[in-house]
Chain A
Amino acid sequence: GQQVMQIPQYQHVQEGEDFTTYCNSSTTLSNIQWYKQRPGGHPVFLIQLVKSGEVKKQKRLTFQFGEAKKNSSLHITATQTTDVGTYFCAGRSTNAGKSTFGDGTTLTVKP
């Protein structure tokens, strides 16, 4: 079945440093979503990518979808303590009826 892998599992950064998490799928994806889950909270939808090579930005967050639509990344510039949480990608392959969540990357930010 479809597998979605995320690296790294954990990332500890100093406030102001950049952060990147990578998502890789075993199959070609029709679309991919990114979610953020704060400690003790529930996943919150951030963005969806659909097109090959697509790049979207939300303030300090930059999301990319690979040309082959098998990988994606989330980059945060100049992290802040409010960025703390676990970031999940969820990919839907072209012949699947549901999205598969990656294992998540947990970001901690030291002030």
Chain B
Amino acid sequence: SAVISQKPSRDICQRGTSLTIQCQVDSQVTMMFWYRQQPGQSLTLIATANQGSEATYESGFVIDKFPISRPNLTFSTLTVSNMSPEDSSIYLCSVGGAGSYEQYFGPGTRLTVT
């Protein structure tokens, strides 16, 4: 399975500011995803990060709020824009397994918005 790192691991931000989260994979992968997980809750898919094209967003998530970049097959960023306390959550990137649907998750970024 791929080794995935995320930066930062945690941050405390003021409302109205933006934070960019980086996801780095040690091998080339086709599928990369961004999830949000509230404490004690399940995982909610924000978007699929597509290499070379615009990300595919899930219902309830928009590009203006969560812009995503995917410049190559090993790297992606998620920006949380104009943050409010409701954006406090854990943000996880994941990658798809080769030829299958299993996912491998990064360690997550714990975001607190004050």
Contact = CB atoms under 8 A, between A and B. Distances in A.
Given A31-B101, A33-B102, A45 B1 contact: yes
Contacts of A101: 42-44
A88 interface: yes
Contacts, number: 41
Contact of A99 (B1, B41, B103): B103
B92 A42 contact: yes
A99 B45 CA distance: 9
B53 interface: no
A43 B102 contact: no
| SS of B interface (majority) | loop
Interface range, B side: 20 to 34
Interface residues of A, number: 19
A13 to B, nearest CB: 19
Contacts of B108: 42
B101 A88 contact: no
Nearest to A98: B45
Contacts of B58: 98
User: What are the nearest 3 A-B pairs in CB distance?
Assistant: A42-B105, A45-B102, A101-B43
